[in-house]
Structure 1
């Protein structure tokens, strides 16, 4: 189904993979000619993965709070001349990890395979996600060009990306519970936590599984540039998760930027209900992607 926005066209519900016989869909946002003017014959692109604790959520959403702010970060990217693909992935009620990462990589491969058709530069594809989607975007960035966590059914197309933006991502499932704030709404070591449902076991009871699902375990020299953005008052995913990954990337000699937004909770909620944190995160995301997408 095709629709139009002020920024361009949207092709909704494109099938990009069919694991186990169930179709996975993405929405493809294409800039209007005016937005694409001056960007060259091929445009940079972003593959977006939604949040929702790997249990819920839907493509093209950044969560109910962010969506409610009306800032439309995806459309802002499109207006800046980026093609955006926002993709489904299997939720934890359907499959456990690494199925979600396989699906995320399949979305990147689909965009690379169809780059010429949609005017995309295959060397300027970025990954972006919020919360659980930030976890997947980080894993794609760290493992996309390697055999680690590869999908046995994958085509020969690589799933590597030119950079990663992750909003409040879980990065260390084993250490996450101990980092929770005193007023945390959810902890990774709670029975039946989102993280436990993702890997099929309590992280403390299955440390190898927890590490295998943690971006921190795959940090290496030569990783693509990262932008990690987190609120210091996040009651769902502690800000130490982004800080720890940033420190590990820096220690490995990889380019990383860490933005901590004071008093911001998950989904950029502020005590006064304002949109300043979401605006700051969106502006930083646009700035990072513009800088790294320059030909």
Structure 2
């Protein structure tokens, strides 16, 4: 593996979140990998990082922004859920000729919602601003998330500053850039939060530390505050209006963490807009597709959906 320095970026002042252009590592097959790029900094918080993996190609390529899950409380851009090997995810995306951008975001006990959405949108804006440096086509960016990341991917596809106000866009990182996306893949994300607030807390992990209730931790505030905040944080709230980008929703039929009905609710709302929406049930699958042998097929279907809509 060798290192090749890219051309400097002429950004003027103020400088971008990273202090100097980050050179990629170049694999023997020509894949360029930019690790640990700082896309946003906020005083008092850790820097937010992303990784960019770009296939060997002539010209700029479409990109998929991957958003990890973890109940908004944990998770890491470098690791998909344990049912999805890293090699499978990366290989499928890069093999389809797409770039993969994996992002970290603030967890809920660092900052409540909408900090997580602000970070995802900041990452999209950052990649679009520096697309020439990475070799990415700025008009061909999609999002793909699982669990908490699926919820954030859906919001990234539905929330538009001109329609829903600047409070959900945020000003982190590169502020004056477009954060819209061209396609969304949402794996078993929460879509309508208020109906879930009355459900019992997830059972504790035997021998593990106490685990906060994910939704109250995400929303913050008092129980009364959370009712209104749940509406603001729910993707179905924003499904009406302008035609959303194409959506692929994939959900385990037997999901005991996020009920399958959550994706059904969002699919119905999106169908009413006339957008291209597909809801795919994975029979016999629990959360993170536990209990299913279909994971490779689900990954392939997701990548094919993104490839078709991002390169059409």
User: Please, what TM-score do these two structures have when normalized by structure 2?
Assistant: 0.82
Alignment partner of 1:259 is 2:283:
no
Alignment partner of 1:44 is 2:62:
yes
1:79 Cα deviation from its structure 2 partner: 1.6
Which one of 107, 129, 137 corresponds to residue 145 of structure 2?
Answer: 129
Q: How does 1:181-260 map to 2 (within 5 A)?
A: 192-201=212-221, 206-220=226-240, 221-260=242-281
Relative distance call for 1:156 and 1:192 in structure 2 (3 A) is same
Whether the 8 Å CA contact 1:195–1:202 is kept in 2: the answer is no
Alignment partner of 1:87 is 2:111:
no
Alignment partner of 1:26 is 2:68:
no
Which one of 78, 89, 93 corresponds to residue 60 of structure 1?
Answer: 78
Partner in structure 2 of residue 293 of structure 1? 310
For residues 13-40 of structure 1, what are the alpha-carbon distances to aligned partners after superposition, in whole Å with 9 as ceiling and x for unaligned? 01111023531111111102xxx35xxx
Distance 1:263 1:202 in 2: 37
Tell me the C-alpha RMSD between the 2 structures. 2.4
The total of aligned residue pairs comes to 277
Relative distance call for 1:25 and 1:281 in structure 2 (3 A) is same
Whether the 8 Å CA contact 1:11–1:28 is kept in 2: the answer is yes
Distance 1:82 1:31 in 2: 7
1:71 Cα deviation from its structure 2 partner: 5.3
Whether the 8 Å CA contact 1:173–1:203 is kept in 2: the answer is no
For residues 48-98 of structure 1, what are the alpha-carbon distances to aligned partners after superposition, in whole Å with 9 as ceiling and x for unaligned? 11000000100032122323xx65212310121111110010001210000
For residues 122-170 of structure 1, what are the alpha-carbon distances to aligned partners after superposition, in whole Å with 9 as ceiling and x for unaligned? 1110011110011111101001453531214561101000010011101
1:206 Cα deviation from its structure 2 partner: 2.2
1:281 Cα deviation from its structure 2 partner: 1.4
Distance 2:223 2:304 in 1: 36
Relative distance call for 1:2 and 1:204 in structure 2 (3 A) is farther
Whether the 8 Å CA contact 2:158–2:235 is kept in 1: the answer is yes
Distance 1:132 1:13 in 2: 22
Which one of 114, 121, 130 corresponds to residue 130 of structure 2?
Answer: 114
Distance 1:155 1:122 in 2: 16
Distance 1:176 1:3 in 2: 45
Whether the 8 Å CA contact 2:54–2:135 is kept in 1: the answer is no
Alignment partner of 1:151 is 2:133:
no
Structure 2 residue ranges without an equivalent (≥5): 1-23, 204-210
Structure 1 residue ranges without an equivalent (≥5): none
User: Please, what TM-score do these two structures have when normalized by structure 1?
Assistant: 0.86
Partner in structure 1 of residue 157 of structure 2? 141
